[in-house]
Amino acid sequence: MAWLLVIVAGILETGFAVCLKLSHGFTRLWPTIAFASFALGSFGLLTLSLKKLDVGPRTPCGQGSARRAPRSTAWSSSATWCRP
């Protein structure tokens, strides 16, 4: 059920990205209202799904992908939280 919420939230994120483009810098009323609705729905569903999914601070590290990156890249040198 939690993964279904993540999928629906992803679809809502697509909707709010499209509405953001259509709002022309928040100068058009209805696309701006649709953007806010999609954004709140997406963030709300992601919040609900995170309560049920088992995630932790090491989840963004993947399966050691940060440790395999060369140390010369800016991302791997600044991502000290991914190192064991």
pTM beyond 0.75, yes or no: no
Give the pLDDT score at 53: 86
Per-residue pLDDT of the chain (84 residues; tens, 9 = 90+): 889 999 999 999 999 999 999 999 999 999 999 999 999 999 999 999 988 888 766 655 555 555 555 555 555 445 555 555
Instruction: Write the DSSP string, 60-80.
Output: GGTTTHHHHS-TTSHHHHH-G
At 24, the amino acid letter reads H
Contact partners, residue 49, CB within 8 Å, separation at least 6: 2, 3, 5, 6, 9
